[in-house]
Amino acid sequence: MKRIRNYFIAGLIVLFPVLATWQLLVWLFNLLDGQLRGVVARYVGHDIPGVGLVITLLVVFLVGLLAANYFGRRVIGWGEAAMRRTPIVRSIYVTMKQITDAFVRQDKSAFKRVALIEYPRRGIYCLAFVTSAAPEEIGARIDTDLVGVFLPTTPNPTSGFLLYLPRHDVRILDISVEDGLKLVISGGVFIPEARRFAPPADEQGGGRAG
């Protein structure tokens, strides 16, 4: 009976990531395909499964191709400048642009270091990314040296919370921003190779945000 149970558990371990990946791909396909399939159906006269996904991928490819040459970059630059000057649209676009640069392009100026903070209460630790010092207005209101950190959600790190914490409460970790993102996205499954068997930061004299 124990052997049968072990076989069953082994089967789950093998199948679960496969099925989860499949479900994610199906969800992504339906999301992308559903955006344009209805539009094409109105012109063609009947539904064509997959055409929306093909068009979406083609548009993404063409935009990437356009961005790879000088003229294309100028056109995209003009479009970005127009969006930055448009009220309401400007605030949304700039925010999403900064998030994209931080996570997709690994913008070093966006996330400086990986840190450990206690949130939502003492004794519970979360992984966060140091962004910048608190704005002068905030610092003037609070007589404490504050540092801004972005607390991402798992497994989607593009959403989260902006927190301002006393600098001495932000513990800097000796891992790269890229590895920190992998750690968040994987829900803790991924462990930076260099630190896989290392003792906790406190035992190594881990520093605070400087």
pLDDT in tens, 179-197: 888 888 888 888 776 554 4
Last residue of a domain, one of 70, 103, 136: 103
Is residue 210 assigned to a domain? no
User: Confidence band (pLDDT; 50, 70, 90) for 106?
Assistant: low
Q: Choose one of 103, 137, 154: the last residue of a domain.
A: 103
pLDDT at 17 over 80: no
Helix axes 70-85, 51-67, angle to 10 degrees: 100
The predicted structure's pLDDT at residue 158:
73
Residue 209 in any domain: the answer is no
Closest CA to 172 of 133, 132, 127, 139: 127
The last residue of one of the domains, among 58, 73, 103, is 103
| Host domain of residue 166 | 113-204
Asked, for residue 36, whether it belongs to a domain, the answer is yes
- The answer to whether residues 117 and 190 belong to one domain is yes
Does residue 108 belong to any structural domain of this protein?
no
> Would you say residue 163 has pLDDT above 90?
yes
CATH of the domain at 145: 2.30.30
Q: Which residues of 9-21 are buried (b: 16+ CB within 10 A; e: fewer)?
A: eeeeeeeeeeeee
pLDDT digits (tens, 9 = 90+) for 27-68: 777 777 776 777 777 777 777 777 777 877 787 788 788 777
What average pLDDT is seen over the chain?
Answer: 77
Question: How many folded domains does the chain comprise?
Answer: 2
